[in-house]
Amino acid sequence: MGLIDAPTLAEKLRPPRALTELGGSLFAEPAEGSTTAWLAWWSGAREELAEAIARARSAGATRLTAGGPPGNYVESGVDASDADRVAALLAAGFTTRGEHLDLRVDTAVAPRPASEATVARSADDLRALIGPAFGSAWQWEAERALAHHGLFTARSTGGDWLGFAAHSGNLCHRGTFGPIGVLPSARGRGVGVALASAVFADLHARGFAEATVPWVAAETVAFYESMVCLRGRTRRLSMTLALSGRGSP
Ligand SMILES: CC(C)(COP(=O)(O)OP(=O)(O)OC[C@H]1O[C@@H](n2cnc3c(N)ncnc32)[C@H](O)[C@@H]1OP(=O)(O)O)[C@@H](O)C(=O)NCCC(=O)NCCS
């Protein structure tokens, strides 16, 4: 088992082969008042899992998440086909809070402009717009995407902000799409496709012939299928273990 102390863990994981080849990752959310989160990885052996849980408890962590939480992850969740790992987590007291898909997509897509909106690369982190509309995790990912020049914004012809899409907000070395959000009032008019196709085209131009779209809800797969070719999908489980957060004496 290994441990990393870092506030932006996924950004620091280089070379890219690090965790997923070693095994699964466990993200410990810090105790209240502490800014230090940490990440453990384990081969799947139950004793390593027990050790990680014990360390998280003694560090006063409030929760352990298998994979990682939205906004800061190495894997978006536990691969549902890995029955041994899922069984070990359940036996250790983890509960499954939801499931989603990671899509592998072909990035060869022609940009598809929207008739009523303009999509452009953003030079601003958009935090004042993204946070209130879509939450702090996406705001944070957008900030990191901006650092990699991977943030795109959509505005109406009248200049109103309509939404954003990004790549490289997490796991930038792997070609990672997301997040994407269009304001509810602007949905269904091609803005999402215009944003997403610009992001896929930019990934393609950077040499990523394929990209991962993590955290996709089953009902949103059709949105991606409407513009890119799907090469594969992995079902992932969000599994967490609540801890007291008080730390050991
Ligand atoms: C997903 C989202 C970005 C789509 O934006 P949008 O501007 O409404 O999408 P568009 O109008 O460009 O295109 C929608 C197309 O995808 C299809 N589609 C299928 N499932 C869809 C879904 N769950 N949501 C939106 N569109 C969907 C539509 O039918 C449409 O296809 P069509 O042009 O052939 O009719 C927007 O709904 C959103 O912000 N949702 C909340 C955040 C979210 O779920 N993000 C994705 C995380 S993986």
pLDDT in tens, the chain (249 residues): 455 544 444 444 443 444 445 567 788 877 666 655 677 777 788 888 888 888 888 878 888 889 877 777 778 999 999 999 999 999 999 999 999 999 999 999 988 999 999 999 999 999 999 999 999 889 989 999 999 999 999 999 999 999 999 999 988 888 999 999 999 999 999 999 999 999 999 999 999 999 999 999 999 999 999 999 999 999 999 999 998 766 544
- Residues in the ligand 1 pocket, defined by CB under 6 Å: 180-182, 187-193, 215-216, 219-220, 222-223, 226
Asked if residue 114 and residue 196 are part of one domain, the reply reads yes
**Spatial separation of the C-alpha atoms in residues 171 and 224, rounded to whole Å:** 20
Q: Which residue CA neighbors atom 46 of ligand 1 most closely?
A: 180
Q: Quick one: which atom of ligand 1 is closest to the CA of 183?
A: 39
Contact criterion met (CB below 8 Å) for 163 and 152? no
Asked if residue 119 and residue 34 are part of one domain, the reply reads no
Sheet holding 117-121, edge to edge: 117-121, 151-156, 161-167, 177-182
Give the distance (Å) from ligand 1 centre to CA of residue 109: 17
Which residue range(s) make up the domain with 154?
A: 109-208
Asked if residue 115 and residue 72 are part of one domain, the reply reads no
Token output for 180:
């994407």
Choice from 220, 221, 228 to test ligand 1 binding pocket (greatest atom count within 8 A of CB): 220
- Tally of domains within the chain: 2
Count of Cβ atoms closer than 10 Å to residue 46 Cβ:
14
Token output for 193:
């496709």
Asked if residue 93 and residue 161 are part of one domain, the reply reads no
CA torsion, ordered 8, 11, 17, 20, to nearest 10 deg = 40
Residue 50 belongs to some domain of the structure = yes
Residue 149 belongs to some domain of the structure = yes
